[in-house]
Structure 1
Amino acid sequence: MMSELSGRNTVSLDPKGRLAIPARFRMAFPADQQNDIILTRGFDPCITGYYSDSWQEFQKIFYGNELSREEMDLIEREFVGRKLESTFDKQGRVTLPPHLIKYAHLEGLSEVTVIGIRNRIEIWNPNVYDEIRAEKEQVIQGLRQKLRTS
């Protein structure tokens, strides 16, 4: 049974680039998709992981928008062209590819932050995540106020 991905975990990243995705995230994937993950770059400097159905949803969003040829080429090169379809090992680990480790600034780290967001996960350098979160604090406060008055 699939449930929504949510929450935040600190997870070990070994020197070989292997990361154990928390079981609660893997179990939130649809039952027939719990062994596989699609990894690509995020819009922010993080790695985004999708199960097959959520990857299809993501593609529908950008293929369903009226993007220029240049925008479509960019999306396809950066997200589709850099994706990696992977399988979890027996310990629930996935090996992150070097190009995505570099993009997300994970080189040399022994711990990363994994966040579940509805139908995807994001894998972050904890320091980069905290910096971006601090930069967005005013926006978050504005949203909080806006949602309270709705």
Structure 2
Amino acid sequence: MVQLLGEFDCKLDAKGRLMVPSSLKKQLPNVEQEGLVINRGFEKHLVIYPKKVWEKIVEDLSKLNPYEQKNREFIRLFTRGATELTLDATGRVNLPNSLLESVGIEINTELVLACQFDKIEVWSKKSYEALFDKDPADFALLAAEVMGDKNRREDGK
């Protein structure tokens, strides 16, 4: 399983290209051969998946019952705009304008690439920083709710 770490400040150039930071590229050793997939996130950001991770997601989606409307709706919304990315010779990827526009990311803007387990979230720097404007006490409450005793597994771990 891919384990990506780090936050990277980047800039989208005038042609919508993003230079993949070398320290991130090292965490994706076969990216030139395997490729990446970019798609919308659940909030106002984009998500880049290593191709093998995306293939697993698609496999999971294909197991959903297509006769249920909520499943069809979710699949349409989740996969809408998904695009394969390839790195050019200098390590840049061209981000699709339609996806950038859908989340309010403009050309020539500062971005943050935020790694989360096996994916990379792509945020405008301004939107990303706004996520963390909450009081730190809110984080403690969230941690207790999400990770607290009430969510312990049945095996006690």
Distance 2:121 2:85 in 1: 15
Number of residue pairs the alignment of both structures matches:
148
- Shifted more, 130-139 versus 81-90: the winner is 130-139
Give the counterpart letter for 1:132 in structure 2: L
Say if 1:46 and 1:136 are closer, same or farther in 2 by CA, change over 3 A.
farther
| Alpha carbons 1:45, 1:104 under 8 Å: kept | yes
- Shifted more, 103-112 versus 133-142: the winner is 133-142
TM-score (norm 2): 0.77
- Alignment identity in percent? 23
- Shifted more, 63-72 versus 10-19: the winner is 63-72
Which of structures 1 and 2 has the bigger CA Rg? Answer: 2
Unpaired runs of 5+ residues, structure 2, are 153-157
- Root-mean-square deviation over aligned CA pairs: 2.8
Unpaired runs of 5+ residues, structure 1, are none
Say if 1:74 and 1:132 are closer, same or farther in 2 by CA, change over 3 A.
farther
- Shifted more, 75-84 versus 115-124: the winner is 75-84
| Alpha carbons 2:46, 2:122 under 8 Å: kept | yes
- Shifted more, 20-29 versus 40-49: the winner is 20-29
Say if 1:110 and 1:30 are closer, same or farther in 2 by CA, change over 3 A.
same
Distance 1:67 1:133 in 2: 38
- Shifted more, 91-100 versus 33-42: the winner is 33-42
TM-score (norm 1): 0.80
- Shifted more, 86-95 versus 50-59: the winner is 50-59
